Structure 1
């Protein structure tokens, strides 16, 4: 996901910014990535949960929308893009967001949050870049698919420090959520307890969370300190991200179909019931994997909220 988000904002014209996945939820780990402009948090969204008059943590700041960028989420499957834009469009004084996003922010500056959300979903530039990173699927139209109670629904939200306050920016909520005073330098220390409290509201067996930090391009930091090994690792990481993003766009159904034809043909040619035995063994392995996943509490599929 860090590679997807990094190249997504790259394609939107953002300069010298990348995403780093955090594997440890503590302030020191986050502070090591400084400067940290904000974080994007992925979590399982409870089916049927509706926005309430009072958030479970923090407090709604309805007046803040006049002084920061906050957009309501109006379409499905775009919460990741919306979360990262919630950070970027509030960091114009620290990040070069590029002419396209700057024009979009200026155009929507006087809009209420619902119209900002509509403008975001109707932006041809943002939509085209977002769709260019969508997984290729010949079977499911992700723009039209609706979640059911059998699906695991995941949602992205953003946390960042704006005007001396730590804000949670969630397009499914009616307003930004304030978590108290927080300047830029205090962000790692202030946001981690908020995230820990949020995770603490889930059952102990729920571990499907992901945290991405929006940070300054680490290649720039490596060049500044003259660490060539670090720079090489970062360049290799970018190469890997490009490969992964290319795989996301590719439709492998035709390739898989031809492989299956070849395997089945080989088994049939062996005769003596080899095909039937092979099929029974495959069915048994599939059932065993399904049972194992059920024991671990894993869903069979997931979609974004």
Structure 2
């Protein structure tokens, strides 16, 4: 963690649907986030209604002009700048949910939104990232930074920086909301018929992905959508009451899959909140007491050397090859 990170108090967040969904839940927002592996019509149809796409990419600096679209300095919606490190995930969420009309939200979030009404993007970003309860909700889903390598004299290695932005509809246009840009970027109007704003957003996102080398894994895409479980439960009850058991069985499978996904997310988030330093210390002490620590250390070194060799064979860089 850098000095700037320590001063801001905001920790890194994973690009994980369970993390985003839990954050939305803590904000009192009845939406969920799902991974997207395809932008084809069939895949997106299963996720409707969609409110926004959250795009993660490797940040390499930004030019004064957008690569596509046009800045809209008069954007009338909600837009906040990112003014501290590591807050881009929550800023992306705020920029998205702040532009969904009539969205239900918790009292603290509602008060924060009202408080920032009329502020310019820079001031709004400062107000948001100065919110202690929001920072705590964000950090609650970040793995504990319990072990620091600072001060050990280890060689410094460069780390890639990744950034979250949002694509969503607003007043008939598809907008790109990037907290590191001075204004939202308008990508133009879209047709209300057919897939609506999703078709336009697909064009913009696919054009951006096409700028990466073939097979690149330097980005990911998430979908911000309505929580499907309440609707599935209502539909299932209706089908069962009318005796349509075949259709009910199919719907029950979907509901079971969604519930299993939530259980997995809850388990993974519980792991993120746990500090494993005491466990690791106890295991190392037990290995040392039994005389197996040196053998375990040698085995770990061999495993690491094998991982480094495989990454070199694939042409990938390594963080530390010693």
- TM-score when scaled to structure 1? 0.85
Q: Is the 8 A contact 1:27 1:188 kept in 2?
A: no
Q: Is the 8 A contact 2:157 2:319 kept in 1?
A: no
State the Cα distance separating 1:36 from its structure 2 match.
0.2
Aligned residues: 282
Higher mean C-alpha deviation, range 116-125 or range 25-34:
25-34
State the Cα distance separating 1:162 from its structure 2 match.
0.4
2:254 to 230, 233, 258: 230
User: Is residue 2 from structure 1 mapped to residue 12 from structure 2 by the alignment?
Assistant: no
State the Cα distance separating 1:205 from its structure 2 match.
4.2
Give the structure, 1 or 2, with the largest relative contact order (CA under 8 Å, sep 6 or more). 1
Match of 2:56 in 1: 42
User: Is residue 162 from structure 1 mapped to residue 170 from structure 2 by the alignment?
Assistant: yes
Match of 1:151 in 2: 159
User: Is residue 297 from structure 1 mapped to residue 316 from structure 2 by the alignment?
Assistant: yes
CA distance in structure 2 between the partners assigned to 1:257 and 1:243 by the alignment: 23
Q: Is the 8 A contact 2:308 2:318 kept in 1?
A: no
1:282 to 286, 300, 310: 300
User: Is residue 77 from structure 1 mapped to residue 77 from structure 2 by the alignment?
Assistant: no
CA distance in structure 2 between the partners assigned to 1:248 and 1:161 by the alignment: 33
Instruction: Give the match's secondary structure for 1:251.
Output: coil
Structure 1 stretches lacking a partner, 5+ long: 142-147, 269-274
Match of 2:139 in 1: 131
State the Cα distance separating 1:264 from its structure 2 match.
4.0
CA distance in structure 2 between the partners assigned to 1:252 and 1:214 by the alignment: 32
Within 5 A, what are the aligned runs for 1:3-152?
3-15=18-30, 17-46=31-60, 49=61, 51-64=62-75, 67-93=76-102, 95-140=103-148, 150-152=158-160
Structure 1 residues 131 and 152, CA gap change in structure 2 (3 angstroms): same
Instruction: Give the match's secondary structure for 1:62.
Output: coil
Deviations 1:122-177 (A, max 9, x none): 12231121121121121359xxxxxx871011111111100001000000011101
Match of 2:199 in 1: 189
Q: Is the 8 A contact 1:36 1:213 kept in 2?
A: yes
Match of 1:271 in 2: none
CA distance in structure 1 between the partners assigned to 2:296 and 2:25 by the alignment: 47
Q: Is the 8 A contact 2:50 2:224 kept in 1?
A: yes
Match of 1:218 in 2: 228
State the Cα distance separating 1:34 from its structure 2 match.
0.6
Structure 1 residues 192 and 284, CA gap change in structure 2 (3 angstroms): same
Instruction: Give the match's secondary structure for 1:63.
Output: coil
State the Cα distance separating 1:202 from its structure 2 match.
1.8
State the Cα distance separating 1:25 from its structure 2 match.
3.0
Deviations 1:12-56 (A, max 9, x none): 1112x111111223243123211001011111112xx1x333111
Higher mean C-alpha deviation, range 71-80 or range 174-183:
174-183
CA distance in structure 2 between the partners assigned to 1:31 and 1:298 by the alignment: 38
Deviations 1:174-204 (A, max 9, x none): 1101111136751221111211111121222
Structure 2 stretches lacking a partner, 5+ long: 1-15, 150-155, 237-250
CA distance in structure 1 between the partners assigned to 2:67 and 2:196 by the alignment: 23
CA distance in structure 2 between the partners assigned to 1:281 and 1:101 by the alignment: 50
